[in-house]
Amino acid sequence: MLKFSYVKELLPDDLRLDCAYAVGSDGVPLRADIRLADGIVQCSARTSDPYGLALLWPVREFGSILLETTRLPPRDAPYNLHVELARHRLLRINLKREEWGLFDYPGIDELAAMVDEARALFVEAIKLRSDDRRAAEFADRSLARAVLGSEKFCQFHASVFLQRRQQSGGFARRFLGVTTPLPTPTNGVVAQLAEAFEFVRVPFVWREIQPKEQGVSFAGPDAWVKACGAAKLPIRGGPLLNFGIRSVPDWMYIWENDYDSILEYAREHVRRTVKRFASAISSWDVVSGLHAGNVFDFSVEQIMELTRTAAQLTKQLAPRAQVIIDLTQPWGEYYARNQRTIPPLLYAEMAVQSGISFDAFGLQFLVGSDSFYVRDMFQVSSLIDRLANLGKPLHITAVACPSAAPADPAGVWRRPWSEETQSEWLITTLETVLSKPYVDSVCLRDLADGPDAVISHGGVYHADLSPKRAVKALMELRARLQPDKK
């Protein structure tokens, strides 16, 4: 069992353990019993190897983000949680600086000094290990400098490679899109889409397309495809298969114990959808979130079979279209609570190694509301680098954060959520991901606020379709990256 002490008086609010989980090697979440007893966080994971603790943690002058400790062996005496969180971030910075080649890069001196300061503060915390409070105070100061410094390192790295990509013509193709709001378009909405974005993603929600077993209606998608075609907006489609509660038709539940029937219905849904829109849609998200959970509690083998079926059938019906496998909740917190799921990077590796015919991975970054916990850009950039090692292009298929404090907060980035914070987070995220030469495009998750939005207040337009500050910032980013495009 791992035990962690912490100094309650140094935290602005009570310690949150509702989102905490154990984390093992390679960042894979582990099943664990995590509880607070007599002011000590106790974490008991089902493994004999060293492991760490991940939890939402307040970082001075930065916000509240999900951080990890170093991987530690169990012992009777508690570890200092403040110290171990700082230790892990400093370790990750050193590894990433070497990987990125930023030790002697011109212009890096100020950022290097910030990291050196964080390291010096951490050394003081170690010297004071017998005094938990003073060690925690120095560790908190170290962590604050380390988190800010690592994010600035990330932004510096992104600025260098964003410029290189721009100079080499890497933004000649359309790279910024948004998911269309259903059910049907209006002329005003389509005009706004055409002004601010370069492509649209039309969702094909099985629950809405086939609400009854014998009734199929493509009215919503048909209208969007027609309207976007008239506006000369390229269209991407999907996800075709998503077995979350929002996507599965009610009548499908009678087959919950009959996988073969579910597979056949899923195959038919993919077949008729792709066949109907093959000439209008050039890119398909064939599956989304299968690895992260589903209402039918599929086994690993069934998850992979559904993935293979959707990808191969789409390739057969639309051989020129791009086929994307979409990864949701990319840090895999869900795996710590549901062992019938698959960690996202393991699922991605299995898709590649099993020979499934697809062209790219999709990746989602949704933060700030419900169970979508906030990470900083250093973590975002590091995750993308890991996925890129699999040799497939990437599309960021869903990006969103709140423009106002949600009722169910899941962290804060730099300052309380507002239109200004939303705009800054979106631009910083886009610059970070688009600096990677293997990221082809970015798609915003919600065009406008509404009851069906995944992230509360996560649209870049208000519910009445008046633009938020983010819209202007996104258009300025496009103009900066594509100065010669009219």
Domains of the chain: 2-163 (no CATH), 171-481 (3.20.20.80)
Determine contact, residues 141/149, Cβ cutoff 8 Å. no
Helices (H), 21-108: 81-100
Residue type, 235: I
Determine contact, residues 468/462, Cβ cutoff 8 Å. yes
Query: From the CA atom positions of the chain, what is the Rg in Å?
Result: 23
Backbone angles phi, psi at 209, to 5 degrees: -75, -35
Length of the chain: 486
Enumerate residues 6+ apart whose C-beta is below 8 A from 421: 401, 403, 413, 414, 415
CA pair distance 263, 434, nearest whole angstrom:
36
Kindly report the pTM of this predicted structure: 0.94
Could you report the per-residue pLDDT of 168-214, keeping only the tens digit for each? 888 878 899 999 876 677 777 888 888 889 999 999 999 999 999 98
Which helix H or strand E contains 365, and what residues bound it?
strand 360-366
CA pair distance 307, 312, nearest whole angstrom:
9
pLDDT of residue 101: 85
* Residues lower than pLDDT 70 in the chain: 182-183, 484-486
CA pair distance 456, 435, nearest whole angstrom:
28
Token readout for 82 is: 């403040």
Could you report the per-residue pLDDT of 318-357, keeping only the tens digit for each? 999 999 999 999 999 999 998 889 999 999 999 999 999 9
Query: If we measure between CA atoms, which residue out of 75, 27, 33 comes closest to residue 52?
Result: 27
Which helix H or strand E contains 440, and what residues bound it?
strand 439-444
- The Cβ of residue 20 has, within 10 Å, a number of other Cβ atoms equal to 22
Token readout for 237 is: 């489609």
pLDDT of residue 103: 78
CA diameter of the chain: 71
* 43, β-bridge pairs: 2, 34
pLDDT of residue 351: 97
Which helix H or strand E contains 65, and what residues bound it?
strand 63-68
- Tell me how far CA of residue 57 lies from CA of 84, 122, 294, 334, in angstroms: 12, 17, 29, 19
* Distinct helix (H) and strand (E) counts, the chain: 12, 17
pLDDT of residue 168: 87
Q: Lay out the sheet containing 63-68: strands in order across.
A: 29-30, 21-23, 52-59, 63-68, 412-413
CA pair distance 240, 285, nearest whole angstrom:
6
Secondary structure of residue 140 in the 3-state scheme: helix
Secondary structure of residue 110 in the 3-state scheme: helix
Enumerate residues 6+ apart whose C-beta is below 8 A from 170: 437
pLDDT of residue 235: 94
CA pair distance 460, 178, nearest whole angstrom:
10
pLDDT of residue 192: 80
Residue type, 87: R
Give the CA angle between residues 2, 130, 137 to the nearest 5°. 85
CA pair distance 274, 280, nearest whole angstrom:
10
Determine contact, residues 306/268, Cβ cutoff 8 Å. no
pLDDT of residue 453: 83
Give the CA angle between residues 281, 287, 293 to the nearest 5°. 155
pLDDT of residue 485: 62
- The Cβ of residue 4 has, within 10 Å, a number of other Cβ atoms equal to 24
Enumerate residues 6+ apart whose C-beta is below 8 A from 327: 291, 344, 347, 348, 361, 362, 363, 364, 387
Parallel, antiparallel or unpaired: strands 322-327 and 283-288: parallel
Peptide linkage before 183 cis (omega within 30 of 0): yes
CA pair distance 198, 172, nearest whole angstrom:
12
- SS (HEC) of 242-278: CCCCCCCCHHHHHHCCCHHHHHHHHHHHHHHHHHHHC
pLDDT of residue 94: 93
Give the CA angle between residues 220, 267, 360 to the nearest 5°. 80
Give Cα 461 to chain centroid, integer Å: 21
